[in-house]
A and B are shown apart, each in its own frame.
Chain A
Amino acid sequence: MRPWPKRLGALALVSVLCGKGVAHEGPEAEIEEITVEIARFGESAERLLQRAIEYRVLGRLKEAANDLQRAARLETDRPGLRRELARVQEGLGQTNEALATTELGLNLKGIEPDERAALLALKAGLLAAKGKSGAALESWTEALRLQPENVDWHHSRSQLLRELARHDERLKRLDEAIATTGSGMLEVERIDALLDAGRWAEALPRIDFELDASRLRGSWLLRRGRALLGMSRESEARKDLEAASAEIRARLGPGIREASLLAEVGLAEELLGHVEEAKRWFGDALAAGAGSFVRERLEKLKAAKKD
């Protein structure tokens, strides 16, 4: 490294666009800067991509999609552009267009395995959203073949298998995933998979182990209550479920609250037979951002009432 340059003190103002990285002034300023740059130097895929990213950060998805479409026309062989475009199209609710974009990306010649895997994962999510579960599963499996250590994708595939009630396959895949990644979250997912599969006796010792190791016990008391209920040990189950509900409620904060805790209270109440209460908690959980598991439980409860 050279000594501190003496000329630092003699810096003068310069009107040129300065180094992108160092000038970072927030997305609006970035958009302004890149727009000036495009006016001066013309459109390039990189400039359009960078502007699209800033538009996306601000939630201006239509403008982002427009830039990405133009970028993809300028550099037709760049899979990353297709992936970004498909993500934005997904955000716009344009699932068909997003799927078409991922297909274009996947068909590019010489696509690197990492890029291919990322596009396949995106495609899997899109297919699942369209209810094409079989095709979605194929896509997840192919993505994970290319990237067997991707924890997030293993989790997503497991959730899809849960929705399809393909419990044995879910457990098998999770065993493979845990062996590959060592993820503690996937271990938890596996215990949930055992419960979803009704393999109560198998789940119980694992839950007890986790319960002993936990500072926050509500979620595990809930799981144990569920297992005990499945094993017709109802009074023990009730005790756990009530304790779970109380412990989790005590951890709920004010205002908009934590979605998974709301969902857990809902599940505890459902298992305790408090249907209306459960529906209310599930509704709150959905409002806070909970996903398909809560939606399914709520729909089931609503359907049961109609019956």
Chain B
Amino acid sequence: MSPRILPFLFGLAIAGLASNPEPPFSRLPYVQSASPTRIQVVWRTEGPVEPVVRFGTDPSRLDGEVAGSDITVRASLGTEKQEIPERWKPLRTARNLGLPKLHSAPIGTFQYEARVKGLKADTTYHYAVYDGARRLTPADSEHRFRTQPEPGTRRPYRFWVIGDGGTGRSAQKAVFDRMLSAVQSEGRPLDFWIHVGDMAYGTGRDVEFQTRYFESYAPLLRNTVCWPSMGNHEGHTSKGTTGVGPYYDAYVVPTRGESGGVASGTEAYYSFVHGNIHFICLDSHDLDRKPDGAMARWLKADLEKAKADWLVAFWHHPPYTKGSHDSDKEKDLIEMRHHILPILEAGGVDLVLTGHSHVYERSMLIDGAYSTNATTAETFVLDDGDGDPAGDGPYRKSSGLTAHAGAIQVVAGNAGARLGRNGTSPIMRKTIVEYGSVLVEVDGDTLRGRMINLNGTERDSFALVKSGKVPVQRLSLPWQPAEYKKPSTSPKVPNEAPLDTRVLVASGAEWRFRPGPLPGGQEWTRPGFDVAAWKAGKAPFGRGEGKFATPLSAGPAAPRALQIRREFEVRQADRITEMGLWIDYSDGFVAFINGHEVARVGVGRSFGRNAQGVTAREDAGRVYVDLRNIGVAVKDGVNVLAIECHAAGGESQDLRLDPELVAED
């Protein structure tokens, strides 16, 4: 086994044990923006440190050092008028307030971006992060990186492609694990990976980035560069127009052509060269996509200079899809097809990687399908085989970069978010509604892609061989996929809890409670309400079927509703990504935190004695309900959770309430 693989395999062994960062880290070190001679090491701490990065090719002798002005420091210390926790107030010095700001990181966060320079190309280095003389990262083989090969270097490369994964749920983890298993079993590490967007659901907040991206992929991020493109979910809080937001805080990408390609001058779109592959990342979300816009003009300038053997482009919104999105109806997708694809195809693009649509779709070898109306395949398909080396054989193009010689489109939006399909795109050869991700390998004249699903099964395999001179043929009647008929009814999908949660109020906890009739107002849901006259009892509460720690009275005159409330403590509300209730209930409930309504199930409208439209619960058992408005409702210190539960009425007298409050952070 080669020495290069050994540390890599070690990394895989600990992949499943990623945890919240140990202090002082609030975001573990990760590598960014590689080139043949430099790379960036980025990390965050809670409170400041004296940042130093030491590096070297021998893990036992890290003789290179980065410190001082080669490390950019950003900080989150709030605005001058903002009330911040007492412990951070001493940090609000003129010097610290003059640092570049982090958009919305928790107060007290410091981010360090160390530029490691003067490196040898295609070489593995080890690194460690220090606070002055104190080593913060362990002395392991995990903290390493490999510089890019010199442009034009021809050797086998492998990269991973995922999209729409950042949910914090089980599918995201399983997709990651299956990729790691595949790579491990083949004994060949990734050179880098590409994220085609939607890495931090639901709105790309800083805490969502932390939990659902950085903690989820930490074992890979610390030693393998991720090249990102912004998705629409990140676009809720980050703006390509201004380059501001948690997405732009999270990533350092080349803006001045540091990794090859023409300088874009912006982190919204950029290019890089890895060996003999030229990559182009575009912002499909919120920038002008028109052909005379700045992004398109940069794209053209970049393509003019690109001299690699292979050309791969990636962004978020797919030009062709009938998955959970429809590229014939949605403006962003249509514009990328109509305005941007012609430029790329005239520049000789080989592979286009996108996401957004929660499905895996892979096209035939196609060119020229730019219509703003419904996409058709006739004359736009150059090879209608399956592209599988073990099937119809690989697609073929002339060697080098040739205009309009065909490209493969891959929609890889299946890495974690709920899957969906609405139809069939006529240019797609494979449409697979399964979770998974894509491994791409480039070796000499062959590019190979494989979709690995949640079970580790290879569900699609395609290849493109570029060799000699291959004439372009346009098929007037290409193979067509079977029409997809969407089922008239779809099964209800369970609402899944995040994986990384901790309990704030345990099941079986003691509550203050009062059976109805309930008051009309919401005063009882707010902090400070006097519950001294209320009884104390443990959950589960109820009557009817089942065992209850606190039985409620039954009979014709028994109350049809129940109020419960209790306090819980939160240390740092701004570090909570999501809160939810694991709850067994009958028949409906409304939950409040500090007087703010955060959940409503089975109760149509209003609350208390005015509650209307209580519907009988059809299923049973504990379910997970994610809470809304937690950014507004939850505060540091003591909070109040209040729940009112209603019986539906009719013959059944059942009333049941058994909640557990959890938080993802």
Q: 8 Å CB contacts to A: which residues of B105-123?
A: none
Mask of B599-621 contacts with A, CB within 8 angstroms, 1/0: 11110110000000000000111
Question: Is B265 touching A151 in the complex (CB atoms < 8 A)?
Answer: yes
A-side contacts of B582, CB under 8 Å: 7
Mask of B221-257 contacts with A, CB within 8 angstroms, 1/0: 0000000000001000001011110000000000111
Question: Is B502 touching A253 in the complex (CB atoms < 8 A)?
Answer: no
Is A303's CB within 8 Å of the partner chain B? no
Question: Is B239 touching A118 in the complex (CB atoms < 8 A)?
Answer: yes
Question: Is A14 touching B625 in the complex (CB atoms < 8 A)?
Answer: yes
B-side contacts of A25, CB under 8 Å: 324, 358, 418, 420
B-side contacts of A147, CB under 8 Å: 242
Is B346's CB within 8 Å of the partner chain A? yes
Is A181's CB within 8 Å of the partner chain B? yes
Q: Choose the segment among A92-100, A133-141, A257-265 that binds chain B (4+ C-beta atoms closer than 8 Å).
A: A257-265
Question: Is A26 touching B422 in the complex (CB atoms < 8 A)?
Answer: yes
Distance A151 CA – B92 CA, assembled complex (angstroms): 32
Question: Is B619 touching A21 in the complex (CB atoms < 8 A)?
Answer: no
Question: Is B169 touching A22 in the complex (CB atoms < 8 A)?
Answer: yes
Distance A15 CA – B493 CA, assembled complex (angstroms): 9
Distance A251 CA – B179 CA, assembled complex (angstroms): 38
A-side contacts of B370, CB under 8 Å: 255-256
In the complex formed, the residue of B with least CB distance to A186 is B265
Is A107's CB within 8 Å of the partner chain B? no
Question: Is B325 touching A26 in the complex (CB atoms < 8 A)?
Answer: yes
Distance A260 CA – B500 CA, assembled complex (angstroms): 50
Question: Is A152 touching B287 in the complex (CB atoms < 8 A)?
Answer: yes
B498 CB to closest chain A CB, in angstroms? 9
Contact of A255 among B296, B371, B420, B623 (CB under 8 A): B371
In the complex formed, the residue of A with least CB distance to B170 is A8
Question: Is B242 touching A13 in the complex (CB atoms < 8 A)?
Answer: no
B-side contacts of A183, CB under 8 Å: 263-266, 298
A interface SS class: loop
Is A304's CB within 8 Å of the partner chain B? no
Q: Choose the segment among A224-232, A236-244, A270-278, A285-293 that binds chain B (4+ C-beta atoms closer than 8 Å).
A: A285-293
Question: Is A256 touching B301 in the complex (CB atoms < 8 A)?
Answer: no
Mask of B411-422 contacts with A, CB within 8 angstroms, 1/0: 000000110101
Question: Is B294 touching A155 in the complex (CB atoms < 8 A)?
Answer: yes
Q: Choose the segment among A70-78, A199-207, A210-218 that binds chain B (4+ C-beta atoms closer than 8 Å).
A: A210-218
Distance A189 CA – B301 CA, assembled complex (angstroms): 10
Contact of A253 among B208, B265, B342, B619 (CB under 8 A): B342
Q: 8 Å CB contacts to A: which residues of B262-296?
A: 262-266, 287-288, 290-296
Q: 8 Å CB contacts to A: which residues of B369-403?
A: 369-371, 379-380, 401, 403
Distance A292 CA – B623 CA, assembled complex (angstroms): 57
Distance A292 CA – B494 CA, assembled complex (angstroms): 52
Distance A288 CA – B369 CA, assembled complex (angstroms): 13
A-side contacts of B239, CB under 8 Å: 114, 118
Mask of B289-333 contacts with A, CB within 8 angstroms, 1/0: 011111111101111111100000000000000001110011110
Contact of B496 among A8, A114, A118, A155 (CB under 8 A): A8
Contact A22/B625 with A256-B371, A259-B292 known, Cβ cut-off 8 Å: no
Question: Is A11 touching B624 in the complex (CB atoms < 8 A)?
Answer: yes
Question: Is B600 touching A288 in the complex (CB atoms < 8 A)?
Answer: no
Distance A213 CA – B301 CA, assembled complex (angstroms): 11
A-side contacts of B434, CB under 8 Å: none
Question: Is A213 touching B294 in the complex (CB atoms < 8 A)?
Answer: no
B253 CB to closest chain A CB, in angstroms? 13
Question: Is B242 touching A12 in the complex (CB atoms < 8 A)?
Answer: no
Question: Is A181 touching B494 in the complex (CB atoms < 8 A)?
Answer: no
Question: Is B347 touching A150 in the complex (CB atoms < 8 A)?
Answer: no
Contact A184/B302 with A41-B600, A56-B331, A260-B292 known, Cβ cut-off 8 Å: yes
Is B578's CB within 8 Å of the partner chain A? yes
Please list 17 pairs of residues, one from A and one from B, whose beta carbons are closer than 8 Å in the complex, sorted by A's number: A1-B17, A7-B582, A12-B494, A13-B492, A20-B203, A22-B496, A151-B266, A182-B257, A184-B262, A185-B264, A219-B300, A254-B367, A255-B371, A258-B346, A259-B339, A259-B342, A289-B339
Nearest 5 CB-CB pairs, A to B?
A21-B202, A183-B265, A21-B201, A181-B265, A184-B262
Chain A residues in the interface with B (C-beta under 8 A): 1-2, 4-5, 7-8, 10-16, 18-27, 29, 40-41, 56-59, 114, 117-118, 121, 147, 149-152, 155-156, 159, 181-186, 188-189, 213-217, 219-220, 250-261, 288-293
Chain B residues in the interface with A (C-beta under 8 A): 17-20, 164, 167, 169-170, 173, 198, 201-203, 208, 215, 233, 239, 241-244, 255-257, 262-266, 287-288, 290-298, 300-307, 324-326, 329-332, 338-339, 342-343, 345-347, 357-358, 367-371, 379-380, 401, 403-404, 417-418, 420, 422, 474, 492-497, 499-502, 578, 582, 597, 599-602, 604-605, 619-626
4 additional A-B residue pairs with CB within 8 Å, beyond A11-B623, A19-B201, A255-B369? A4-B173, A19-B495, A182-B265, A184-B301
